[in-house]
Amino acid sequence: MTATATRPERLDFQTSPDRYRHWKLIIEGDIATLRMDVQPTGGLREGYELKLNSYDLGVDIELADAVQRLRFEHPEVRCVVLTGSLDRVFCAGANIVMLRTSAHSFKVNFCKFTNETRLAIEDTSANSGKRFLAALNGTASGGGYELALACDSILLVDDRNSTVSFPEVPLLGVLPGTGGLTRITDKRKIRRDRTDVFSTVAEGIKGKRAVEWGLVDRIAPLSKWDEVVAEMSRELADSVPAREAIGIELTPIECAEEDGTLTYRYVTLARDDVKRTAELTITAPEDGPKTAEEAYAEGAGWWLLQAFRELDDALLNLRMNFREIALVLLRAQGSAATVRSTDALLADSEHWFVQETRHFVKRVLKRLDLSSKSFYAVCEGGTAFEGTFLELALACDRTYVLNDPETPVRLGATPANAGLYPMSNGLTRLETRFLGTPEAVPEILARTEPFDAETADELGLATFAPDEIDWEDELRLATEERASFSPDALTAMESNLRFPGPETMETKIFGRLSAWQNWIFQRPNAVGERGALTCYGTPQRPEFNVERT
């Protein structure tokens, strides 16, 4: 029989190196080592063992935290070595029993988070002067090899046993869920016929053939393993300029919860579980640092970094802990002047800390883009949807702007909207919004002063701009209607509509996750009573419906 899907206890996305259970972070000069040492009994819930360095969401939460800390706390590091602590095994991939016994929505959100973590590794390589070496000290299977593919170089031990493999199709009836198929074709550009063979050979490929096919960059025997790891990590470190900087400590995020509301310093998330809606509000302070040195002195307390770390935590809570919420009403409040001055600093400063903060804001905005919730921006009295905060409105599915002369509403563009935060499709959110009328983008960016609701509507930044008489009724009806629709249909619709324009490796990864992997995870051939994922590890053989759809 199919195992009952269980839901884990409330997930906490905050951690730190002194709390890691599954990773060891070692800093030696400009080279860091992240050693995977998954504790078999350290899963997020009971019912499965994390054998052979297989992972669950808790393992990946620690990895995401480590990558983030390397960027902010260790700017001096130029190469990160990812390796394992077990003999003959680097990582067996996502834990099968965990997947089999998890709710469908959890499985898909789990894959989404691991995708974002691997993309964060690639973003770190592209923008933070750090190269990543996957030193595969043993077999890398499924998600373990997908983690290696996110790195700049892959070294595989040549011990006549260790392989790289994608066993999902032949053994589980699913697909590599964290971008594996896309990376071997689009990133490593391996031939189609070879990728076809590789993706259907459960035992994987090893040694010289793995190098010949481009699956790894180099192999090394056990006798020379440490020597080659040191040589390759040194070469990668020397390929980027040294950064003489002292990092800042990413202090814990404080959050209080009462009556369904999460309250941070700059962010609040209030839920209405009956209506299946939430109100997410971000607030800018009255003042903020004007120079990079002042921002750096504030460290993790710099309002922009703290606010978006809080927003990131709130979005993850919405995804994983509050999965029944259908619609999020997003508001931006506080001092628009502070947002504007901060945007000027982000655009002009080359200080490493300011740049790292900018890239972090970019990743949080992408997290919003990719969240399976409906988002409506609500622009009313006191709104501060300008610059970086305007990006939040542009990321929403609709924008409602109150058009009331007695309640002034101001929106505005800054240099931040001209390219500081590209989307997964490589375009700005303004370019994406006005794909069919690109001439609208420079017109909006040319406006150096905030504009009112009527102008926002004329410029195409409002979906609807009701007057004060219709405002409450129109917003209420739109909210009730959205919450009544099929969540599955909305998720699919939003995934189709949010990324028009060019297709990139990133949009392919998430598009395939949302469509094919989402679909396959529900099919009897994978999760039915005799599906491959259900039968794996049991005496039963899977039985397939043989019709090709």
CATH value at residue 82: 3.90.226.10
- pLDDT, residue 26, reads 97
Cβ within 8 Å of residue 224, ≥6 positions away: none
- pLDDT, residue 548, reads 85
Q: Residue 395 is part of which domain span?
A: 256-491
pTM listed for this prediction: 0.95
Q: How far apart are CA 42 and CA 22, in angstroms?
A: 8
The token pair that represents 265 in the structure block = 């310093």
Q: How far apart are CA 140 and CA 146, in angstroms?
A: 8
Q: Assess whether pLDDT exceeds 90 at residue 286.
A: yes
316 and 187 in a common domain: no
CA dihedral 501, 507, 508, 512 (to 10 degrees): -110
3-state secondary structure 259-318: CCEEECCCEEEEEECCCCEEEEEEEECCCCCCCHHHHHHHHHHCHHHHHHHHHHHHHHHH
DSSP string, 481-521: HHHHS-HHHHHHHHHHHS--S---HHHHHHHHIIIIIHHHT
105 and 141 in a common domain: yes
Given a contact cutoff of 8 angstroms between Cβ atoms, the answer to whether 76 and 145 are in contact is no
Given a contact cutoff of 8 angstroms between Cβ atoms, the answer to whether 253 and 303 are in contact is no
In a domain, 276, yes or no: yes
234 and 319 in a common domain: no
302 and 182 in a common domain: no
227 and 359 in a common domain: no
In a domain, 206, yes or no: yes
Q: How far apart are CA 251 and CA 13, in angstroms?
A: 14
Q: How far apart are CA 286 and CA 149, in angstroms?
A: 44
In a domain, 40, yes or no: yes
* Strands of the 79-84 sheet, one edge to the other: 23-28, 31-36, 79-84, 131-136, 153-157, 218-220
pLDDT tier at 514, thresholds 50, 70, 90? low
pLDDT tier at 339, thresholds 50, 70, 90? very high
In a domain, 313, yes or no: yes
The arithmetic mean of pLDDT across residues 352-375, rounded, is 97
Q: How far apart are CA 26 and CA 420, in angstroms?
A: 32
* Predicted confidence (pLDDT) per residue in 263-276, tens digit: 999 999 999 999 99
Q: Assess whether pLDDT exceeds 90 at residue 520.
A: no
Given a contact cutoff of 8 angstroms between Cβ atoms, the answer to whether 177 and 111 are in contact is yes
- pLDDT, residue 496, reads 87
353 and 325 in a common domain: yes
Q: Assess whether pLDDT exceeds 70 at residue 7.
A: no
The token pair that represents 358 in the structure block = 């900018």
User: How many secondary structure helices (H) and strands (E) does the chain include?
Assistant: 22, 18
Q: Assess whether pLDDT exceeds 80 at residue 157.
A: yes
89 and 161 in a common domain: yes
Q: Which of 441, 474, 491 is the last residue of a domain?
A: 491
Structural domain tally of the chain? 2
Q: Assess whether pLDDT exceeds 80 at residue 71.
A: yes
Q: How far apart are CA 132 and CA 130, in angstroms?
A: 7
334 and 198 in a common domain: no
Q: Which of 188, 208, 238 is the last residue of a domain?
A: 238
Q: Assess whether pLDDT exceeds 50 at residue 3.
A: no
Closest of 181, 195, 166 to residue 94, by C-alpha = 166
In a domain, 516, yes or no: no
Q: Assess whether pLDDT exceeds 80 at residue 516.
A: no
- pLDDT, residue 517, reads 73
In a domain, 533, yes or no: no
CB neighbourhood size of 396 (10 A): 22
DSSP three-state, residue 404: coil
Q: What angle do CA 6, 10, 11 make, to 5 degrees?
A: 100
233 and 268 in a common domain: no
225 and 96 in a common domain: yes
Beta strand 153-157 with 218-220 is: parallel
Q: What angle do CA 238, 243, 247 make, to 5 degrees?
A: 130
- pLDDT, residue 1, reads 33
* Predicted confidence (pLDDT) per residue in 382-426, tens digit: 999 999 999 999 999 999 999 999 998 999 999 999 999 999 999
Q: Which of 491, 516, 543 is the last residue of a domain?
A: 491
User: Look-up: residue for tokens 């009328």?
Assistant: 437
The token pair that represents 281 in the structure block = 């509000």
Report the first-to-last Cα separation within the chain, whole angstroms: 25
274 and 213 in a common domain: no
Q: Assess whether pLDDT exceeds 70 at residue 5.
A: no
- pLDDT, residue 539, reads 92
Handedness of CA 197, 202, 204, 209 (dihedral sign): negative
Q: Assess whether pLDDT exceeds 80 at residue 4.
A: no
In a domain, 109, yes or no: yes
- pLDDT, residue 488, reads 86
Beta strand 327-334 with 256-258 is: unpaired
298 and 233 in a common domain: no
pLDDT tier at 34, thresholds 50, 70, 90? very high
In a domain, 546, yes or no: no
